[in-house]
Structure 1
Amino acid sequence: MVPYWSLYLKSLAFDAKSIGLLMATLHISRIFAPALWGWIADKTGQRLRIIRLGALLTWIVFIAMFWQENALGIGLVMLGYSFFWNAVLPQFEVVTLNYLGEASTKYSRIRLWGSIGFILSVLLLGSALDSISVAWIPTILLILMILIWINSLLIPAANLPAKVERSSTLRFTEVIKKPQVIAFFVITMLIQFSHGPYYTFFSLMMQELNYSRSEIGMLWSLGVVAEVLVFIVMHTLISRFGLRLIMISSLVLCVIRWSLLGFWPENIFLVIVAQLLHAATFASLHAVGISLVHQYFPEDMKGRGQALFSSVGFGAGGAAGAIVAGLLWDTHGAQVTFAIAVFVSVVAIVLAYVWIHPEKVQQNSS
């Protein structure tokens, strides 16, 4: 959806502000939906049922998209389907980590298959869109959503624990009030805010520079290929360098990436370098974030912890980034918009350097 939905919205004659607001809708439901589903999952222990229900209702609600032409209708359907979609991913992270048990550092080796699926779908769809109309995008998305639901039915529940009993004397509010945890969630929000211009307008920017849709798909895929390579070795990198160093280094690379895209988008070599840096700005920061949540929160709070990670980052941060990018893009252009992304990345570097010390939280929790 992310690489091509903005092209679909542009085909409906929406301006940059409308596109920014509509893309933000995908993130808005992430502010509250994961927390609600995470609370239900922690209380009931029925994570797989919630995943399956969420996947089912996602494609059922999305069917209404085929009768929408104005911004309000499209926005309401996006808000509705994403509410249920956001029940799926955070809880699936917890299910995955439960399966892995003590081998949780190998999470990235499973996560990379999502990246491989992204590469295949973006390349195939990008090539197809050079021959077919972008009006086919909703149909293709619906098919993928149905396949996700079918796949959720195939996941065995035998190895998953039932309802998790309270394993800590701390309350959830006490955990999230720790200074390091607060700093972590602020950094998470800033990271996703900085991705706002990229996720919302990268495809449109490259199209305006006369790149074909298949070439745009290749550029998106290049970033995810780099992401896959990092996921393969992430458990080794974490063991060798630690979460703090990887986070700070990746944030520095965020500054470089947004600078390249904002100031030299016409230079294909620099765009390729920027896309390769997706390995740091998304893959390593996402894997570090998942690991830190797993470390910060006791067993009976992990569902809510992962949900809050999604709500604050992909929800609040992603929505704010898309909205600000939409407001600035037509009036101030790519340079100013990406300069804002650079600035918030620098703020995140400072916060990470001062506050992120995972080993101290681990000691205090033991």
Structure 2
Amino acid sequence: MVYLARRPDRVILSGQYFIHFAVMGIVLPYFNLYCYHIGLTGFQIGAVSALRSAVLVLFSMIWSALADRFLARKPIYILCLFVSTMIWTFYFYSNGFWEIFIITLFYGIFYSPIISFLETFTMELLGEEKKSYGRIRAWGSISFIAVVVFLGKAIDHFSVEIILPLVFVGSLLQTGMSLKIPKTGSSSERPALHQLKRLYTRPVIWFLICSFLMLMSHGAYYGFFSIHLEHMGYSKTFIGAAWALASVSEILVMINSKAIFSKCSIERVLTISFFIAALRWASLIFARSPYFILVSQISHALTYGAFHMGSILYIDSLVPQDFKTVGQAANNAVTYGLGLMAGFLISGSLYENTGSSGLFAASGLIALLGGALFSTHKREKNGFRS
């Protein structure tokens, strides 16, 4: 069924991304800092972080399978947003490790499928305009940058505890706005859960393996890039500027997504992204000049921005209509769940033994392997298309 997104629908979806990533801009950089502030140890903070990743992998798949099976994507999306928002309020009254751990478990159960559902809504609502996905997704990156920059100053002025009410208010706004998400043109027939095997075709499995490797290679960047720069003597201001430049370059690519995917196939964009990532990580082994480091950050436009857009579009084109939500959930779980988790674990071990040079060398090889595998196992021409 052809479904062309109207402008009000685009505004609603853009608003969902804007608020969702604004909340992420609070939680990702500052929640662990909050946990440290209330007295959790490094090991306990690590355990809470690992729990979030594990819950994301498991429950995003469960919720997505239920949504596709019972044709209840929007009701489950609203339910998960509302319940996770209510569970967040328990953080206001808890400061012990086991209390935080249990709240995080139940919060993660309901929060885990949100981004997968949102990606699926966007793909279906855009219909034949899917190449414009980046223009909607860019609003998430814009809010993430703004929140990370300005919240740091606010925390310095007040305290890190302000993140709790801010996340609650943001989540409440996203829940309210979710009621306005229009009904999509999905299938009217309920697929049986045993038909999930239709999702895991050879092209899908190979792509998930390659995506796992790509995000695994990013573990060194997200976990140790700032430490790497600090050890080379760069200031916090320069480190912040380097991260901001990467995010800005990502936004510019997303805004121009329609032009990019009109001129290049999804497969070509993904292939280029893999090999640019390999070059990017390899360059950090030798980069000492601030200009060279900043130039390498611009490549984030391809290694994250273009790759992320390409992966969403690629998975959407590979999976059958009845399992669109599960397809995006599998992509999210394997890449941002398992891939980053493996990347963090391996990077931590390598950094202790080889330092940042060995760490980025390994990351480059991992990205190169992912690109090589993808180049030799691209989608068969008769793959599923929406």
The one-letter code sitting in structure 2 at the alignment partner of 1:160 is T
- Aligned partner of 2:28 in structure 1 is 2
- Aligned partner of 2:58 in structure 1 is 32
Is contact 1:123–1:214 with CA below 8 Å preserved after alignment? no
Describe the superposition over 1:267-314 as per-residue Cα deviations: whole angstroms up to 9, x where unpaired: 322321232111111111111111111111111110111111111111
- Aligned partner of 1:50 in structure 2 is 76
The structure 2 residue matched to 1:314, chosen from 317, 336, 340, is 336
- Aligned partner of 1:271 in structure 2 is 293
Whether 1:193 aligns to 2:216 is yes
Give the alignment of 1:1-366 within 5 angstroms.
1-4=27-30, 22-65=48-91, 67-68=94-95, 70=97, 76-128=102-154, 131-132=156-157, 136=160, 139-140=162-163, 142-155=165-178, 156-161=180-185, 164-165=188-189, 171-176=195-200, 178-209=201-232, 211=234, 213=236, 215-264=238-287, 266-357=288-379, 359-362=381-384
TM-score (norm 2): 0.81
Is contact 1:248–1:353 with CA below 8 Å preserved after alignment? yes
1:157 Cα deviation after fit = 4.0
Is contact 2:56–2:113 with CA below 8 Å preserved after alignment? no
The one-letter code sitting in structure 1 at the alignment partner of 2:356 is A
Per the alignment, in what secondary structure is the counterpart of residue 366 of structure 2? Answer: helix
The number of residue pairs the alignment matches comes to 356
Is contact 2:117–2:325 with CA below 8 Å preserved after alignment? yes
1:61 Cα deviation after fit = 3.4
* CA distance 1:41–1:213, change in 2 (3 Å): farther
Farther off after superposition, 54-63 or 94-103:
54-63
Distance 2:284 2:99 in 1: 32
* CA distance 1:246–1:328, change in 2 (3 Å): same
The one-letter code sitting in structure 1 at the alignment partner of 2:354 is H
- Aligned partner of 2:8 in structure 1 is none
1:183 Cα deviation after fit = 0.8
Is contact 1:18–1:326 with CA below 8 Å preserved after alignment? no
* CA distance 1:268–1:141, change in 2 (3 Å): farther
The one-letter code sitting in structure 2 at the alignment partner of 1:46 is A
Percent identity between the two aligned chains: 27
Is contact 2:40–2:96 with CA below 8 Å preserved after alignment? no
How big is the alpha-carbon RMSD for the aligned residues of Structure 1 and Structure 2?
3.1
TM-score (norm 1): 0.85
- Aligned partner of 2:3 in structure 1 is none
* CA distance 1:232–1:37, change in 2 (3 Å): same
Distance 1:249 1:26 in 2: 31
* CA distance 1:294–1:331, change in 2 (3 Å): same
1:78 Cα deviation after fit = 4.0
1:175 Cα deviation after fit = 3.4
* CA distance 1:236–1:293, change in 2 (3 Å): same
* CA distance 1:262–1:22, change in 2 (3 Å): farther
The one-letter code sitting in structure 1 at the alignment partner of 2:240 is G
Structure 2 residue runs of 5 or longer lacking an equivalent are 1-26
* CA distance 1:279–1:4, change in 2 (3 Å): farther
1:359 Cα deviation after fit = 3.3
* CA distance 1:357–1:158, change in 2 (3 Å): closer
Per the alignment, in what secondary structure is the counterpart of residue 45 of structure 1? Answer: coil
The one-letter code sitting in structure 1 at the alignment partner of 2:124 is N
The one-letter code sitting in structure 1 at the alignment partner of 2:225 is F
